[in-house]
Amino acid sequence: MIPAAFRDTAEAAADAAGAVIRPLFRSQLLVEAKGDASPVTEADKAAERTIRALIADRHPDHGVIGEEYGETNPGADWVWVLDPIDGTRAFVTGRPLFGTLIGLLHKGVPVLGVIDQPATRERWIGLSGQPAEFRSEFGGTPRCRPCATLAEAELSCTSPDMFDAETAPRFAAAKDAARRTTWGGDCYAYGLLALGLVDAVVDATMKPWDWAALVPVIEGAGGRCTDWAGRPLRLDSDGTVLAVGDRALLPEISRLLAG
């Protein structure tokens, strides 16, 4: 059982990050270039600093891994994994398809996740072994829909640019077998999968802060979130991520992605 205080911390962290991010959305931002050429803004940095301060105050013995400021307290059993703005390119171009990701690992296993959309004020919450929750003025129930074959599936991917010479043909095989493929959305696409609006999401080059919060949400909505081979996601995973709403879909799509 995950202590209730940990969920309270995750939600308080999402609230605090949203209060930092919302005033900067669609404003003039100082955008820097990171080593991987992805845009990073003061919103990313300020939101992560805010979340880290809150965690340090409430759980000083916990570890933290964040996209902007690296790792603290390595070796801790409980480790928070943070992406203050997942989908920074959407954020800096004014599209509300970004989100704040707050995950918690226990001995390397994702056990708690929050996907928070500060602009639309939508929030998905997942805790290991419990049904996922969703809060939004638009309504919706976090429950993945049946879709047993890829030929019937709505497939989503963040961007074709994330594939290299080795992964591109494997993704193409899954794309060609799917009913339809849509692009973009970053973490928001995984939230839509949890709502039964998308059937599968396939991404690559994903870091722990990109997926740690997603696993408890997807699995709490009845789906599965693994690497392309169908293995559980861990800190040493290979960067591939496959999420399916219907678990019966996993073997077919995983076989295609295996090449």
Please give the annotated binding residues for Mg(2+), written as ranges: 67, 83, 85-86, 210
Q: 61 vs 4, 14, 56, 175, CA distance in Å?
A: 17, 20, 8, 44
Residue-level length of the chain: 259
Strand (E) or helix (H) holding 154:
strand 154-157
Cβ(158)–Cβ(164) under 8 Å? no
> What's 108's DSSP letter?
T
What tokens does 163 get? 């594939």
- Binding positions: 67, 83, 85-86, 210
Which residue is associated with the tokens 């419990």? 130
φ/ψ of 51, rounded to 5, equals -65, -45
End-to-end Cα separation, the chain, in angstroms:
39
